[in-house]
Amino acid sequence: MSPRHVLLAVAVAAVWGINFVVIEVGLQDFPPLLFSALRFLFAAVPAIFLLGRPRVAWRYVIAVGLALGVAKFGLLFVGMDHGVPAGLASLVLQSQVVFTLLFAMLVLRERPRRTQLVGIAVACAGLLLIVLDGGLSAPLGALALVIAAAACWGVSNTVIRHAKPQDTLRFMVWVSAVAVVPLLGLSLLTEGPRVDLDALRGIDLTGVGALAYLSFVATLFGFGVWGFLLRVYDASTVAPFSLLVPVVGMAAAWLFRGEAVGLQQGIAAALIIGGMACTVLRRRTRQQADSSEWMLTKSAV
C-alpha cells in the first residue's frame, strides 16, 4: 500500500475505535434504540438522493438492514446502555469474526483453514475469560447482548458475502435506510413516546455532535474510505488494519472515559485480537476477486 493509503486505513480504524466512546457519550442524551435510529436516519437520508439505488437485489439490502442495522446495532446500543463500557464493547464485538466463519461453514459450506480454526479457539478462550470474570465488571446480561450483537453481525456478513455488493458505500447507505423505521418502531414500543420526545426536546450540542460523528464520520466516511481501499487492494492487504479497532477503542475508553485496563482484561484482549489475526492473515491466492467482499466481515462499527 502507498503511504497515503496506509494513513487512510489507519484513520478509518481510529474513527471506528473512537466510535465506541462516542456511542457511550450519546447514550447519556438518548435512549439506545432511538439513538441508533437517528444515527441511521442522518446517515441515509442525505446520501440516498446523491448515490442512487443499490446495485444488488433488494432482498439482500433488506436482510442486511434488519440483521446489521436493527439487530446488531440495536443490541449493541442496548448492551452498552445497560453497563458494558466502551472499551470492552469494542473488544467483545469483534468476536463477529468467529461467528462469521462459523456461519460461512454452516450456510455457505466454506472450508476454514487450520489457522482459522486455531484463531476461533483462541478468540473463544478470550471471550470465556471475560465471562468467567463476570464480564470484567460489566453485567453479564448486558455482555450477552453485545455477544448476540456480534452473532447478528456474523449473520449479516454471511448475507453480504453471498450478495457481493459492488459499491460498499451505496450498499451501506441503503442498509441504513432500511433500519430506520424498525428501530423507531421498537423505540416507541419499548422506550416509550414520552421518553423519546423528552430526549429530542432536551438535545444539546453533545448529542448533536455524537449523532454527527456516528452518521457522517463513522458511517459515511468510514465505509466510503474502506470500500475505496477494497477496490484498490486485495482483502489480505486491507484486513489487518481492522485489528486496530479494538486497540483504539480500549485506548480511547481509557483516555477519555477513565476505563481501567487490568491484567486480566489485557490477557483477554490479547487472546481475542490474536485469534482474529489468525482468521484474517492469509497467503495470497488466485481467488482475489472474492476476497474483497469477505473483507466486510472484518470491519468495525
Q: What's the pLDDT score for residue 114?
A: 76
Q: What is the rounded CA–CA span in Å between residue 139 and residue 134?
A: 7
User: How many residues does this entry show for the chain?
Assistant: 301
Quick one: average pLDDT of 170-182? 90
Quick one: average pLDDT of 55-63? 90
For residue 111, give the DSSP letter.
P
Helix (H) or strand (E) holding 293, with range, is helix 288-294
pLDDT reading at 23 higher than 50? yes
- Residues 80 and 22: beta-carbon distance below 8 Å: no
User: Against a cut of 0.85, is the pTM above it?
Assistant: no
State the cell numbers at 73.
446495532
- Helix ranges (DSSP H) in 164-287: 168-190, 193-201, 205-212, 222-232, 235-238, 244-257, 263-280
User: Residues 151, 153, 158, CA angle at the centre, nearest 5°?
Assistant: 100
Quick one: average pLDDT of 159-174? 81
Q: What is the rounded CA–CA span in Å between residue 22 and residue 151?
A: 22
Of residues 256 and 285, more confidence is placed in 256
For residue 113, give the DSSP letter.
P
